[in-house]
């Protein structure tokens, strides 16, 4: 086998495959490293790259674990390695698979999910948890293993993206585990609702850490708790009483010292499109019927114009657009309900789910976690009212 440098290229032929098979163990390891190095550095011609890939295909079937492990270590960082080679190594025994499971970008989310769900090998799952980025889908199946060591590694990796539902599962499953809760508390970002949930479950020392790490979330929580108690007294009614209801709504917003530009968003979080429309009409000096036509436009072009003209907060626009889209969908779905109060209750209870159905990652939409927390509060108030009425 000739792997001596010749100009800027390296010589490699099909005969090298057979020679490699017959090579002594130690020499085979050395040759494996060299071929991988040349492949990674672009030292082969296109034809020689094909020959090298054939050699890799032979090496992944080698009976010596150390040979396969050497190959795995050598090619783990190369995104151009043939997919079948990486998959073979990823499904191999633990010491062979770990390097590619942690580092190879050839593996897709679907590959990783299949590997996690088809093995009980915690070391393999931990290696996947260490990857530079871990998607919500992969994180979900790792968390569903309910393996404390795996979840601990996952929580210490800031490259991991977790849905609120997945974090809820961690809190539910490992709420008594101080180390796991500590790792969760130390995450750079947490949804407000998760911070709120943790605050009721963790020890005093962790609570202090939580309060220090996530100060903004605590400010929002205190604000929501204080305001929602009074808002719970509000009776939301239909279009026929819009003027009276609008007056009551304004009184309440003034009492709670909610800025004028935030009150329409509060109305949306309470699932009441009517109050939102009347509020926007008053702010923009536009007839309510015109506002309704613009708001109901599914393209959201009208909503964008109204939002800007009403002077609503710029940093809440994306979240508000998601919110009104979800409300519009639910309003259409339940428009046949005859009692307006039942309509509002049903929409409020389903609003959070509709929002999450339309958004893949909460963190991608600025301040959506805050809006969702408001939605959660007002949804629970509808449930409490329903219980007291029954």
Contact 277, 302 (CB under 8 A): no
Which phi and psi (to 5°) does residue 9 adopt? Answer: -125, 170
Confidence of residue 219 (pLDDT cuts 50, 70, 90): low
305 located within any domain: yes
3-state SS, residue 331: helix
Average pLDDT score over residue span 265-275: 85
Residue 53, CB-side half-sphere exposure with 13 Å CA sphere: 15
Q: Which residues pair with 6 in a beta bridge?
A: 9
Tell me how far apart the alpha carbons of residues 162 and 361 are, in angstroms, rounded to a whole number: 8
The residue among 45, 108, 99, 55 whose CA lies nearest residue 77 is 99
Provide the pLDDT for residue 138: 97
Confidence of residue 353 (pLDDT cuts 50, 70, 90): confident
Confidence of residue 243 (pLDDT cuts 50, 70, 90): low
Q: What is the pLDDT of residues 64-77, one digit of tens each?
A: 999 999 999 999 99
Burial class of residue 34 (count of CB atoms within 10 Å of its CB; 0-12, 13-18, 19+)? middle
201 located within any domain: no
207 located within any domain: no
| 94 pLDDT more than 70 | yes
Burial class of residue 384 (count of CB atoms within 10 Å of its CB; 0-12, 13-18, 19+)? exposed
| 49 pLDDT more than 90 | no
Residue 297, H or E segment: none
Say which DSSP state 258 is in. Answer: -
Q: Which residues pair with 134 in a beta bridge?
A: 160
| 234 pLDDT more than 50 | no
Q: What are the tokens at 174?
A: 């490992």
Confidence of residue 16 (pLDDT cuts 50, 70, 90): low
Provide the pLDDT for residue 238: 35
The total number of structural domains that make up the chain: 2
- Mean pLDDT is highest, among 190-199, 241-250, 268-277, for 268-277
Does 385 lie in the same domain as 236?
A: yes
Residue 66, C-beta contacts closer than 8 angstroms, at least 6 positions apart: 25, 29
* Beta strands 5-6; 9-10: pairing state: antiparallel
Tell me how far apart the alpha carbons of residues 105 and 380 are, in angstroms, rounded to a whole number: 43
* In the block, residue with structure tokens 């009184």: 251
Tell me how far apart the alpha carbons of residues 136 and 314 are, in angstroms, rounded to a whole number: 28
Domain that holds residue 66: 1-103
90 located within any domain: yes
Say which DSSP state 389 is in. Answer: H
Tell me how far apart the alpha carbons of residues 352 and 377 are, in angstroms, rounded to a whole number: 11
Provide the pLDDT for residue 334: 62
The residue among 368, 319, 366, 326 whose CA lies nearest residue 350 is 326
Confidence of residue 169 (pLDDT cuts 50, 70, 90): very high
Q: How many DSSP H helices and E strands does the chain contain?
A: 23, 2
Question: 77, 103, 129: which is the final residue of a domain?
Answer: 103
How many CB atoms neighbour CB 19 within 10 A?
14
| 102 pLDDT more than 60 | yes
Radius of gyration of the chain (CA): 29
Tell me how far apart the alpha carbons of residues 138 and 261 are, in angstroms, rounded to a whole number: 40
Provide the pLDDT for residue 207: 77
Contact 181, 198 (CB under 8 A): yes
Question: 79, 103, 127: which is the final residue of a domain?
Answer: 103
Tell me how far apart the alpha carbons of residues 297 and 328 are, in angstroms, rounded to a whole number: 9
Average pLDDT score over residue span 266-288: 85
337 located within any domain: yes
244 located within any domain: yes
Contact 303, 340 (CB under 8 A): no
Share above pLDDT 90 across residues of the chain, in percent, rounded to a whole number:
36
3-state SS, residue 232: coil
Q: Which residues pair with 5 in a beta bridge?
A: 10
Average pLDDT score over residue span 329-350: 61
Question: 50, 85, 103: which is the final residue of a domain?
Answer: 103
DSSP E strand boundaries for the chain: 5-6, 9-10
Provide the pLDDT for residue 23: 67
Contact 274, 243 (CB under 8 A): no
Provide the pLDDT for residue 109: 96
Q: Which residue has the higher pLDDT, 51 or 276?
A: 276
| 192 pLDDT more than 80 | no
Q: How far is CA 383 from its chain centroid?
A: 28
């Amino acid at each position: 086998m000739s792997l001596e440098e010749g100009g800027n290229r390296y010589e490699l032929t099909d005969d090298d495959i057979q020679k490699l098979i017959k090579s002594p163990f130690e020499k085979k390891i050395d040759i494996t490293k060299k071929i991988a190095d040349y492949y990674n550095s672009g030292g082969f011609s296109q034809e020689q790259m094909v020959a090298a890939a054939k050699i890799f295909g032979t090496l992944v079937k080698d009976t010596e674990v150390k040979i396969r492990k050497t190959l795995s270590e050598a090619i783990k960082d190369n995104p151009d390695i043939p997919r079948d080679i990486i998959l073979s190594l990823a499904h191999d025994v633990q010491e062979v698979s770990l390097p590619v499971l942690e580092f190879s970008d050839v593996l897709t989310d679907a590959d990783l999910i299949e590997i996690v769900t088809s093995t009980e090998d915690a070391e393999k799952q931990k290696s996947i948890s260490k990857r530079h980025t871990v998607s919500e889908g992969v994180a979900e199946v790792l968390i569903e293993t309910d393996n404390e060591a795996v979840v601990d590694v996952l929580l210490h990796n800031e490259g991991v993206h977790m849905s609120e539902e997945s974090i809820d599962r961690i809190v539910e499953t490992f709420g008594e585990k101080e180390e796991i809760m500590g790792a969760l508390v130390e995450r750079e970002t947490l949804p407000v609702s998760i911070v709120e949930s943790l605050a009721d479950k963790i020890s005093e020392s962790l609570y202090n850490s939580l309060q220090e790490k996530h100060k903004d979330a605590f400010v929002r929580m205190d604000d929501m708790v204080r305001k929602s108690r009074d808002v719970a007294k509000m009776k939301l009614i239909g279009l026929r009483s819009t003027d009276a209801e609008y007056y009551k709504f304004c009184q309440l917003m003034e009492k709670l010292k909610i800025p004028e530009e935030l009150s329409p968003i509060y109305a949306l979080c309470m699932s009441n499109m009517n109050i939102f429309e009347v509020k926007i009409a008053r702010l923009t000096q536009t007839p309510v019927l015109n506002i309704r036509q613009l708001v109901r436009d599914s393209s959201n072009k009208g909503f964008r114009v109204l939002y800007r003209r009403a002077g609503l907060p710029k940093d809440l626009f994306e979240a508000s657009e998601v919110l009104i889209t979800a409300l519009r969908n639910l309003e259409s779905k339940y428009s046949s309900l005859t009692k307006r109060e039942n309509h509002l209750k049903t929409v409020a209870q389903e609003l959070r789910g509709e929002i999450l159905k339309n958004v893949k990652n909460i963190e991608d939409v600025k301040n959506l976690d805050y809006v969702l927390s408001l939605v959660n509060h007002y949804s629970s108030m509808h449930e409490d009212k329903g219980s007291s009425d029954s």
